[in-house]
Chains A and B, each alone.
Chain A
């Protein structure tokens, strides 16, 4: 790849990257993050009896809890990743995506999917008692939910599933085209992206059709476990790590430390991650040998992902001063530290011994926030902090607000995670000791109060980011582009050529 940097027919950034779509995806992602956080706050307020909106049908905490998780997965993470893909894939392959028109179609189709999911979850259940729904359900022997469907992260109402599935196919084709046209070896980022396109398509189809239409009971539980796990492991994780393999060397201006470790990390994830879904349903009637298999492969993958973290630590080794002034890099490495914590925690909590105590408790909720917010959302905020000045051709309005956003998010999510972890231990012990149920709810109250303040801290940081972005957009475009804001495609090859 080294001959590329001085080649005269090297495509210019503006010819291959559609910056408008990157911006649009980021704006939509931030909108859904706002909606999701409001949903989370509503549920948190409900638990501590502070919900002033209790009893209003369309603002029901139960429905908004599902909006909370779906808006993060499909609204925030998916939209952010799509924006990042529009930036990274053309720059790495030096080719535009298959079709610009298709890109716009996918953008609107995906917003339709996310908005309809939210609308379906909020409004659908109110119309579930229509006579024609009952008729259809009876004659076809299918549960027709106008609202959410009964699988975590598969709540997407049934009539949206085919649209989402089609959207995933089209985006795989749109981004797969430049990857397959590229000659020569692929950079690590593209391994992860290419595999993620296949996995996301297959995972979505598996979870949104089989347990609803084809398979009941315990087997549906096994498939449901695979789905909720693969959505994290085979959609969010590979896109997230692919993103890190691209942005970290670019900003550090250093190549990745070890190519061998990159290989171990990717192939270890690819083999072990899909095998673990059943660990979400330990001690259910799912056959025990499958449960043990899921536990063992989970512990195996935790060891494998450590190699990825070691690789990134090796990359930054000797240049750690950059954490002080470069906020994007700080977001990335803070996220990686929390990734390490998540994985260490997971290798313990997945064992049958821990599961006895902490399954069904807030421990799991803390773990979910740590991985979804503490790792992947933090990485995305880092990428946005890095890219918005380049997309808008101007510096951030306030560096202090960027700092506040980082520290509020980082400290907030750590407090939330520790708080819910301890809450989970208390709940588990109270249940096992056969105290009346209410005692476990009562003892959770102080933890839940701390949790809402941790959430408000994260929310406050996010509002600072939104305000900062708004003010940046209001400010005048720089007449002279600062040298480090120039979007040169050649920079890829200075750092990734090893």
Chain B
């Protein structure tokens, strides 16, 4: 059995793989079957809609060029595109999207991540991430204004002097006050992250914590 073709093909190849898949993949799927996946439209909340409206006020010409109105459908479309740009540009290789219960992370970023936060179509596949060159982004929404993000995407060093982040001038039509569709979508995607939590944003709380130290 240990050196036969049937043993290696059937037991090692198929059998052990199946055992691992059942115990490591099907078990969590079964455990979370009570938490159905939400659609993108369902995760558009009042806060992200207000950020979406804020974009229309700041960049009226650009906004009207790419989106019809400030409503759930348009916002969902922007979120979908924003997430795809986030993936396509490799943002998730330098930014994580989960706060761990260790290393003082809940003091730096906000509450520890929980399963229900990830049960939606914008986390398929999940954007946990494995490396942080820049900070975690899962509680980034609402911490900074959309104009800060626009300038930061255009040229990170303008607002964050020593940042090694690449610049993304192709999110804009020549200058940081003219974001294109991808630029607007990216900003709204970042503003969405963490907007589903009760306490929001955490920025002031973090400053208070640091003064305490």
Genuine A/B complex: yes
Selected contact of A150 from candidates B92, B103, B119, B166, CB within 8 Å = B92
Cβ contacts under 8 Å, B127 to chain A: 150
Say whether A199 contacts B17, CB under 8 Å: yes
Say whether A365 contacts B131, CB under 8 Å: yes
Cβ contacts under 8 Å, A151 to chain B: 125
Q: In the bound complex, what is the Cα–Cα distance between A441 and B103 (angstroms)?
A: 17
Q: In the bound complex, what is the Cα–Cα distance between A49 and B161 (angstroms)?
A: 11
When C-beta atoms are compared, the residue in chain A nearest to B213 turns out to be: A434
What count of chain B residues pass the 8 Å CB interface test? 89
Say whether B121 contacts A216, CB under 8 Å: yes
Say whether A148 contacts B90, CB under 8 Å: yes
Q: In the bound complex, what is the Cα–Cα distance between A56 and B85 (angstroms)?
A: 16
A-B contact pairs, 6 of them (CB 8 A): A191-B3, A199-B13, A213-B124, A285-B115, A356-B100, A441-B164
CB distance from A286 to the nearest CB of B (A): 6
A→B interface (CB under 8 Å): 46-49, 51, 54-55, 57, 60-63, 65-66, 121, 124-126, 128-129, 134, 137-138, 141, 143-152, 154, 179-180, 185-186, 191, 194-195, 197-199, 202-203, 206, 210-213, 215-226, 234, 263, 266-267, 270-271, 274-275, 277-278, 280-281, 283-287, 290, 293-294, 355-357, 359-361, 364-365, 428, 431-434, 437-438, 441-442
Whether B62 sits at the interface, judged by CB under 8 Å, is no
Say whether A364 contacts B131, CB under 8 Å: yes
Contacts A54-B166, A63-B88, A202-B17; A222 near B81 (Cβ below 8 A): no
Majority SS at the chain A contact face: helix
Cβ contacts under 8 Å, A263 to chain B: 2-3
Say whether A434 contacts B108, CB under 8 Å: yes
Cβ contacts under 8 Å, A154 to chain B: 125
Selected contact of B166 from candidates A46, A216, A266, A364, CB within 8 Å = A46
B→A interface (CB under 8 Å): 2-5, 8-9, 11-14, 16-17, 19-21, 23-25, 27-29, 31-32, 35, 37, 39, 76-77, 80-81, 83-85, 87-94, 96, 98, 100-105, 107-108, 113-115, 117-121, 123-135, 160-164, 166-170, 180-182, 185, 209-210, 213
CB distance from A117 to the nearest CB of B (A): 13
Q: In the bound complex, what is the Cα–Cα distance between A179 and B118 (angstroms)?
A: 45
CB distance from A425 to the nearest CB of B (A): 13
When C-beta atoms are compared, the residue in chain A nearest to B94 turns out to be: A62
Contacts A194-B9, A198-B13, A199-B17; A62 near B91 (Cβ below 8 A): yes
Cβ contacts under 8 Å, A138 to chain B: 76-77, 80
Q: Output the residue of B14, B19, B118, B134 with the most chain A CB within 10 A.
A: B118
CB distance from A58 to the nearest CB of B (A): 9
Q: In the bound complex, what is the Cα–Cα distance between A285 and B140 (angstroms)?
A: 19
